[in-house]
Structure 1
Amino acid sequence: MKLSTWKAILLLVLSFTVVLGGIIYLGTPTTITLITAGVVVITLSLIWGISWEKIEEDLIETIKSMLPAILILLAVGMLIGAWMLSGTIPLIVYYGLVSIDPSFFLIITALVCSFMSIMAGTSWGTIGTVGVALMGVSLGLGIPVHYTAGAIVVGAFFGDKLSPLSDTTIMAPTMAGVKLVDHIKHMLWTTIPGYLISLVLYLILGFQFGGQIENSENVNLILSTLSENFNLNPILIIPPLLVLLLIYFKKPTLPVFGVGIIAGCVLAVIFQGRDVLEVFSALNNGYSQATNIPIVDEIVQRGGISSMLGTVALLISAAVFGSPLKSAGVVQILLDKIVALAKSGKAMMSSSLALHGILFTITGSYYVTYAVIGPIISPLYDKFGLHRKNWSRTMEDTGTALAPLIPWGVTGAFVAETLQVSTGEFFLYAPMTYLGIIFALIYIFSGIGITKVQGNKGE
């Protein structure tokens, strides 16, 4: 059963109206809003003849595809809890406060996260480890956390887009039939301008914090409180170094995080004198011991599996929202329209960019969109004499880079929960994530940065 074009468009419009109206206009909880939108789509799909069996099958398949991400979410919660209890994150915060000039904190944050993400090939690993520690430093220096979250996101996803170790950097060219090195080089056109603009922004924002550390009583209070509550032995830096090393050598993420969790637990027992019950409690509920200093408690009272359960519920509700659209054939209908209407290379490229951006916004998962429409769109680039690396770049510009800005998406939910800053608060301060799309459109219509192949048939 396949819906007509107008019914497919109606489903899209209604679902977006419910989601955007609920979240932005009414301020309703995202999880419930997504489920409501899903119910609307399911109801209309059933009325129009889509079988419940098909909807249920796609829903289960979508949730199944999210399972690795859910497991990583839970692992990150335990990792943060273990590293707080062991004193690893407090150690990084301590030395960050001692050594970093507030004027350059934001740009240093972006550069450090960029380096780690390029070396390790993972935005999630960067955000869940170094990112959490830098958020603590930000609080201590009195720098707005949404500024810092933006810098962390830019750095983490700069590396995620360009690292040859990143799963998305590997997947996009694979789905488009492009060599990995060609893909990475071509992405520099849309990634570097937005990245440089972001760094300039952080430099400008940082000027207002010049000399702040010299006059900050908070910094001295935080330093003394951390020293009193944790044994800040330099050996505590071993867990993040171990995780970084293992990820660099392409070891699977979950086992690597498991090693980091175990290392943190062992160090908590050895250096902080914690018993097994306290360790298990931190893994489940996060670090909960109060220092009676509010700003320090805000830094250290974090982590645990329980802190991620709301995000897991959000991902499941996103599946309830997105999978019925797949069941109703909305994706295929839109693809068919692009194939039928694209009369020039520019029209085809801009339509493909818009389609992938819309579908990614709905699903929030590049694993779904890359695999579903990547191979289907690729031959259209051949038809117009355009190199397929233009398409693989577009997928990353409207997928990988956009991922942290979709609140109900797998990555967006992870970022917001881990950094404890909502998407709406930090997105303006992460310009690289959306400027790539703007530069992509400029290149499409100007022809700059667009690679052609022999036998070009049109513009």
Structure 2
Amino acid sequence: MEYCKFSKKQIYITLFLCIIPIVLCVIMNLSLVYAFLFSVTFAILMSLKNGFTTDEIKTMIFKDIIECRSLYIVVLLIGATVSVWLSSGVVPSMIFYGLSYMEGMNILFSAFILISISSIFIGTAVGTISTIGIAIIGIGKGFGIPEHILVGAIVSGAYLADKISPLSGILNLTITTTETNYKEVLKSSTHTIIPTIIICAIIYFLIGNQYSSSETSEKALQLINAMDSEFLISPYLILMPVSIVILSIIGVKSNYCMISGIVVGGIVSIFFQDTSILELVNYIIFGFSANSNFKIVNETLVSGGVVSMISVVIIVIGAISLSSILQGTGIINYLTKDIIYKISTRKELILKTGLISGVLTAITCDQTMGIVVPSRLLKSKYKDVGVDNSVLARTISDTGTIIAPLMPWNINALIISLVTGVSCVAYAPFAMLCFIAPLVTCIMCSIKNTFKSRSNESLRSGNK
């Protein structure tokens, strides 16, 4: 455990002055680049003031920045993938056939179920949102469903990937740090994830029932006709997202899946959608914007390309730098050690695991710290209390992992907002799974603890 050289007062001042700029930028709708620039600079100055050397601080920051280099590539690839899938006709084809097939169905409920299944096979929440999610948003527009509600349902389904997909990097990090295996974690997770999915499905079904009218069918028909006139629509184009899912299932890394999608999509754009090589390069770098005679198509088919993701990469680097300093200087461990020391019961252990994981995800702007720190600090405590480590993994997944897209300054929320064009503040109230999963964990923990207490009382009474 890192020794903290900060005084108690300095710790809280540092945390306050590092978090406030982030909150202010969210409220004032300013780029988080400014917030992290201030927060990281202030954290560095406070660290230097308290005896940390420049070399120590550089080691803290650059070690984690370099370790996360694959994340930057994935973020940039997402920007390119969305543009290529729009220009190649893949997303328009998915919207065309989706609108035709889903007419008369409860779209919000269907979207949640479809995205949930897809995310488990794709293995990444943001990857699911930036591919299949984009098509679902187009379908929802055709049926007149408010975009922020639809994105909330998509986010709910997509984050099942980080919770239970065997292909998820986030879940595998959880499994590794808690020293468990997938089978154990999946078995433990069924206790909370099944009721969570059922509750979410019921909510989306009830909300979705409000969007079934002749007016929405008319919008869907307009979008179908517009897509058909502006793009070469073919069911064969849907094989591309299907192949991405298959590649994910057989274990191909998400960045290689995205690269293959970009290459094949680019070929389709050039040979079947009459896109020149220069136009394609322009779409990849600067984004795609439909230039048709149909307003509904122009509003639906828009992406920002790689350039739009550069600011996200800078913010990600800022978030990683800040979390590295908070961890490396011992501030995080100082805040958690007293909470951990006082734990004595199963209920308290699980509730405080969720609290620590959630708070760390919120403070450090990323899921990683909310997974690694509680896993490392609490493993021995779980052994002492007699609770299996699979419960530790499940609790972290139900709390710190799943709440990430609810915070506007979080890396996940930033990517979602850029990809979908919907702000975190707008979609978050409808990302039901991200709220319900932590609540179900707390309720199940309390119920189990109550039954266990009653059982022990009965045994004691019987012995008397």
Q: TM-score, normalised by structure 2?
A: 0.90
Is the contact between residue 289 and residue 303 of structure 2 (CA under 8 Å) also seen in structure 1? yes
In the alignment, residue 318 of structure 1 is paired with which amino acid? A
In the alignment, residue 11 of structure 2 is paired with which amino acid? A
For residues 293-304 of structure 1, the aligned pairs below 5 Å read: 293-304=294-305
The structure 2 residue matched to 1:123, chosen from 118, 122, 125, is 125
The structure 1 residue matched to 2:13, chosen from 7, 10, 22, is 10
Question: Residue 87 and residue 310 in structure 1: after superposition, are their counterparts in 2 closer, same or farther (change >3 A)?
Answer: same
SS state of the match for residue 68, structure 2? helix
Q: How far off is 1:448 after superposition?
A: 4.8
Q: How far off is 1:303 after superposition?
A: 4.4
Q: How far off is 1:364 after superposition?
A: 3.0
The structure 2 residue matched to 1:47, chosen from 49, 59, 63, is 49
Is the contact between residue 106 and residue 151 of structure 1 (CA under 8 Å) also seen in structure 2? yes
Aligned counterparts of 1:221 and 1:209: Cα–Cα separation in 2: 17
Aligned counterparts of 2:435 and 2:45: Cα–Cα separation in 1: 34
Question: Residue 215 and residue 97 in structure 1: after superposition, are their counterparts in 2 closer, same or farther (change >3 A)?
Answer: closer
The structure 2 residue matched to 1:94, chosen from 93, 96, 104, is 96
Aligned equivalent of 1:444 = 445
Q: How far off is 1:294 after superposition?
A: 2.5
Aligned equivalent of 1:260 = 261
Q: How far off is 1:302 after superposition?
A: 1.6
Aligned equivalent of 2:22 = 19
Q: Aligned pair 1:240/2:279, yes or no? A: no
Q: How far off is 1:360 after superposition?
A: 1.4
Q: How far off is 1:405 after superposition?
A: 1.7
Question: Residue 276 and residue 21 in structure 1: after superposition, are their counterparts in 2 closer, same or farther (change >3 A)?
Answer: closer
Q: How far off is 1:450 after superposition?
A: 10
Aligned counterparts of 1:364 and 1:143: Cα–Cα separation in 2: 30
Question: Residue 219 and residue 347 in structure 1: after superposition, are their counterparts in 2 closer, same or farther (change >3 A)?
Answer: closer
Is the contact between residue 102 and residue 209 of structure 1 (CA under 8 Å) also seen in structure 2? no
For residues 8-407 of structure 1, the aligned pairs below 5 Å read: 8-24=11-27, 26-101=28-103, 104-212=106-214, 216=218, 218-407=219-408
In the alignment, residue 443 of structure 1 is paired with which amino acid? M
Question: Residue 65 and residue 410 in structure 1: after superposition, are their counterparts in 2 closer, same or farther (change >3 A)?
Answer: farther
Q: How far off is 1:388 after superposition?
A: 1.6
Q: How far off is 1:107 after superposition?
A: 0.7
Question: Residue 425 and residue 102 in structure 1: after superposition, are their counterparts in 2 closer, same or farther (change >3 A)?
Answer: farther
Aligned counterparts of 1:369 and 1:56: Cα–Cα separation in 2: 22
Aligned counterparts of 1:305 and 1:358: Cα–Cα separation in 2: 31
Is the contact between residue 97 and residue 140 of structure 1 (CA under 8 Å) also seen in structure 2? yes
Is the contact between residue 103 and residue 207 of structure 1 (CA under 8 Å) also seen in structure 2? no
Aligned counterparts of 1:72 and 1:22: Cα–Cα separation in 2: 25
Q: Which runs of 5+ in 2 are unaligned?
A: 454-464
SS state of the match for residue 164, structure 1? coil
Aligned counterparts of 2:315 and 2:102: Cα–Cα separation in 1: 36
**Superimposed CA distance per residue, residues 138-184 of structure 1 (whole angstroms, 9 cap, x where no aligned partner):** 22221101111111111111243122222223322321122321211
Question: Residue 450 and residue 163 in structure 1: after superposition, are their counterparts in 2 closer, same or farther (change >3 A)?
Answer: farther
Question: Residue 212 and residue 363 in structure 1: after superposition, are their counterparts in 2 closer, same or farther (change >3 A)?
Answer: farther
Q: How far off is 1:84 after superposition?
A: 1.1
**Superimposed CA distance per residue, residues 107-133 of structure 1 (whole angstroms, 9 cap, x where no aligned partner):** 110111111112232223211211011
**Superimposed CA distance per residue, residues 236-290 of structure 1 (whole angstroms, 9 cap, x where no aligned partner):** 2222122111111111111111111111011112211222112211111222341
Aligned counterparts of 1:17 and 1:399: Cα–Cα separation in 2: 21
**Superimposed CA distance per residue, residues 294-331 of structure 1 (whole angstroms, 9 cap, x where no aligned partner):** 22112112242122122222212323433321232112
Aligned equivalent of 2:461 = none
Aligned counterparts of 2:34 and 2:322: Cα–Cα separation in 1: 10
Q: How far off is 1:432 after superposition?
A: 1.1
Aligned counterparts of 1:448 and 1:298: Cα–Cα separation in 2: 52
Is the contact between residue 142 and residue 217 of structure 2 (CA under 8 Å) also seen in structure 1? no
Higher mean Cα deviation, 412-421 or 143-152? 412-421
Aligned counterparts of 1:339 and 1:119: Cα–Cα separation in 2: 36
Question: Residue 183 and residue 322 in structure 1: after superposition, are their counterparts in 2 closer, same or farther (change >3 A)?
Answer: same
Aligned counterparts of 1:276 and 1:208: Cα–Cα separation in 2: 44
**Superimposed CA distance per residue, residues 195-214 of structure 1 (whole angstroms, 9 cap, x where no aligned partner):** 22221121111122112456
SS state of the match for residue 399, structure 1? helix
SS state of the match for residue 49, structure 1? coil
In the alignment, residue 26 of structure 2 is paired with which amino acid? I
In the alignment, residue 326 of structure 2 is paired with which amino acid? L
Aligned counterparts of 2:132 and 2:100: Cα–Cα separation in 1: 16
Q: TM-score, normalised by structure 1?
A: 0.91
What is the root-mean-square deviation in Å for CA atoms of aligned residues? 2.4
For residues 405-444 of structure 1, the aligned pairs below 5 Å read: 405-444=406-445
Question: How many aligned positions are there?
Answer: 450
Aligned counterparts of 1:102 and 1:449: Cα–Cα separation in 2: 45
Aligned counterparts of 1:13 and 1:194: Cα–Cα separation in 2: 34
Is the contact between residue 101 and residue 210 of structure 1 (CA under 8 Å) also seen in structure 2? no
Is the contact between residue 83 and residue 261 of structure 1 (CA under 8 Å) also seen in structure 2? yes
Higher mean Cα deviation, 195-204 or 93-102? 93-102
Higher mean Cα deviation, 296-305 or 127-136? 296-305
Aligned counterparts of 2:256 and 2:374: Cα–Cα separation in 1: 31
Aligned equivalent of 1:457 = none
**Superimposed CA distance per residue, residues 87-126 of structure 1 (whole angstroms, 9 cap, x where no aligned partner):** 1111111112222136510111011111111223222321
Aligned counterparts of 2:186 and 2:98: Cα–Cα separation in 1: 32
Aligned counterparts of 1:450 and 1:282: Cα–Cα separation in 2: 59
Sequence identity, in percent?
Answer: 25
Question: Residue 55 and residue 272 in structure 1: after superposition, are their counterparts in 2 closer, same or farther (change >3 A)?
Answer: same
In the alignment, residue 327 of structure 1 is paired with which amino acid? G
SS state of the match for residue 281, structure 2? helix
